[in-house]
Amino acid sequence: MNRFALSVSRAVARVTEAPLGPYQSAVVRIGFAGTWLLFLLREFPHRREMYGPDGPWSWDLAQRLIADNHAFTILMWSESRVWFETVYALAVLSSALLLVGWRTRTMSVLFMVGVLSLQNRSVFMGDGGDNVIHLMAVYLVFTRCGRVWSLDGRRARRESAAHARGERPGPDRTGPTLWGTLGLALAVATGAGRLDGSWTAVFWGLWAVQGLWWYVGRRGPRTEPRILLDVVANLVHGAALLVIMAEACLIYSTAGWYKIQGSRWQDGTAVYYPLHLDYFSPWPALSGLLSAHGTMVLLVTYGTVAAQVAFPFTLLNRRAKNVLLAFMMTEHAVIAVVLGLPFFSLAMIAADSVFLPTSFLLWLGGWVARGRGRLLGRRGARPALPGPRGPQPPPEDAAEPSHVRSTA
């Protein structure tokens, strides 16, 4: 009984003291924000045909569809070209700021607004990768994905260093200003009747929670209300991270089981046919080389099905999971090159990143930091000093601090 109580106590402390998987949630944030940003920049010359007033999916058709499915998109608030360009610029800007982790809480909400607004405006423009981005944009709002590898984390480290030197940093003016500006915009949209009941509650709820977080934080980081908010935020973060993992498993398992039912997947020839479609052959010579070897086609076909079906079960074994995860990411990289689906592959790799081991992510972060130090050193700047080896606790984020010390 004592061992059981101790195990439960440790589990509760692990979930409530700090956000789970800070590096995994950070790489998921970077992956999806970067994928969407690259997509928007690549399609910038065609933006009006895809999501704007010049597209085949007209304004009237979009209004009729949204009236039926009640999807959220602020693009339908106005038919003006200026409004469309403003929303598209907002989507690009929020993606870039979420990528670098600036005011992550706010940018995650604006990132979700940009993704939903563009995708729900023209529902026939997307593919499987867009569907994954659509879902993950919603899930990221509930994660604390700015703890590490972000400008928020760097600001928090600088403030901690200042406190350690006995200095008192000045008050944060950017956060309250941003919060007040968005509150005013939300009030205008609500007063104009642009938001329905459910989305009104969602956005006002997020806005109120952020204000409460800032107000309680000003009263002191060690107060009981602040500790309670940290516990709730960590629990919500853990639940959202679990949903992201379950979503990735569901995508692979359903894809694998549906493939099993297909006759072309059963006889091992399914991979052959996409390689001979013009739409999926950006490199005809490479596609022809791969499809010319029947054994290779057979192994890739059966290997894809086996990997997708087995992936959720390999989570029970760390080594098997890591091997299969490397195989899946490599396969998506090959799909990006051979079939010409870079953004679908990037979205799936970003979703797979939630399963990457922390040791690998720490090694990857150190490798990137060393490369950046060498690059800055060549330019005459002072390279950053290397940090201690091994896993380190996540830095305290000024926007998303965690001061919980549960003694359960």
pLDDT tens, position by position, 330-378: 999 999 999 999 999 999 999 999 999 999 999 999 998 888 888 887 6
Q: What Å distances lie between residue 116 and 86, 132, 265, CA to CA?
A: 15, 12, 34
Return the C-alpha torsion angle 287, 340, 315, 139, nearest 10.
Answer: -170
Residue 152: name the closest of 342, 394, 390 by CA. Answer: 394
Q: Angle, to 10 degrees, between the axis of helix 22-42 and the axis of helix 358-378?
A: 60
Residue 104: name the closest of 231, 213, 205 by CA. Answer: 213
Average pLDDT over residues 99-123: 95
Q: What is the pLDDT of residue 46?
A: 94
Query: What's the CA gap between 293 and 273, in Å, rounded?
Result: 13
Average pLDDT over residues 136-147: 96
Amino acid type, 102: W
Residue 153: name the closest of 392, 354, 404 by CA. Answer: 392
Average pLDDT over residues 123-132: 87
Query: What's the CA gap between 201 and 179, in Å, rounded?
Result: 17
Query: What's the CA gap between 11 and 7, in Å, rounded?
Result: 6
The pLDDT-based confidence of 398 (bands split at 50, 70, 90) is very low
Query: What's the CA gap between 21 and 243, in Å, rounded?
Result: 13
Residue 108: name the closest of 174, 182, 165, 58 by CA. Answer: 182
pLDDT tens, position by position, 241-300: 999 999 999 999 999 999 999 999 999 999 999 998 888 888 989 888 988 889 999 999
**Does residue 389 surpass a pLDDT of 50?**
no
Q: What Å distances lie between residue 122 and 32, 55, 67, 138, 386, CA to CA?
A: 20, 8, 14, 18, 47
Q: What is the pLDDT of residue 402?
A: 40
Q: What is the phi-psi region of residue 87: left when phi exceeds 0, alpha when psi lies from -120 to 50, beta otherwise? A: alpha
**Does residue 395 surpass a pLDDT of 90?**
no
Query: What's the CA gap between 208 and 219, in Å, rounded?
Result: 17
H or E element, residue 255: helix 224-260
Query: What's the CA gap between 111 and 125, in Å, rounded?
Result: 19
Angle at 86 between CA 125 and CA 129, to 5 degrees: 25
Query: What's the CA gap between 36 and 338, in Å, rounded?
Result: 21
Residue 340: name the closest of 296, 279, 292 by CA. Answer: 279
Q: pLDDT: is 55 or 116 the higher one?
A: 116
pLDDT tens, position by position, 153-199: 999 888 888 878 888 877 888 999 999 999 999 999 999 999 887 89
In angstroms and rounded to an integer, the radius of gyration of the C-alpha atoms of the chain is 23
- pTM of the predicted model as reported, rounded to 2 decimal places: 0.89
Q: What is the pLDDT of residue 379?
A: 63
Query: What's the CA gap between 68 and 362, in Å, rounded?
Result: 47
Q: For tokens 């999807």, what's the residue?
A: 71
Helices (H), 192-317: 197-219, 224-260, 263-266, 284-291, 294-314
Query: What's the CA gap between 296 and 301, in Å, rounded?
Result: 8
- The encoded tokens of residue 92 equal 């690009």
The pLDDT-based confidence of 204 (bands split at 50, 70, 90) is very high
Distance, first Cα to last Cα, the chain: 16
Residue 209: name the closest of 243, 245, 241, 179 by CA. Answer: 179
Please name the residues in contact with 181: beta carbons below 8 A apart, sequence gap of 6 or more: none
The pLDDT-based confidence of 220 (bands split at 50, 70, 90) is low
Q: What is the mean pLDDT of the chain?
A: 88
